Amino acid sequence: MAVPKRRSSKARGRRRRAHDAVTPLKLQFCPQCGTAKPSHVICPNCGNYQGRTVIETEE
The answer to whether residue 29 sits within a structural domain is yes
For residue 9, being part of any structural domain is answered with: no
Torsion from C-alpha of 33, 39, 40, 46, nearest 10 degrees: -20
Question: What is the domain range of residue 53?
Answer: 25-59
Q: Establish if 3 belongs to a structural domain.
A: no
Q: Is residue 38 in a domain?
A: yes
| pLDDT for res 53 | 86
43 within some domain:
yes
pLDDT score for 51: 82
pLDDT tens, position by position, 6-53 = 999 999 999 999 999 999 989 999 988 899 999 999 998 888 998 888
Alpha-carbon span 34 to 37, nearest angstrom: 9
Asked whether the whole model's pTM tops 0.75, one would answer no
Give the per-residue pLDDT at 59: 61
In a domain, 13, yes or no: no
Based on the structure, what is the number of domains in the chain?
1
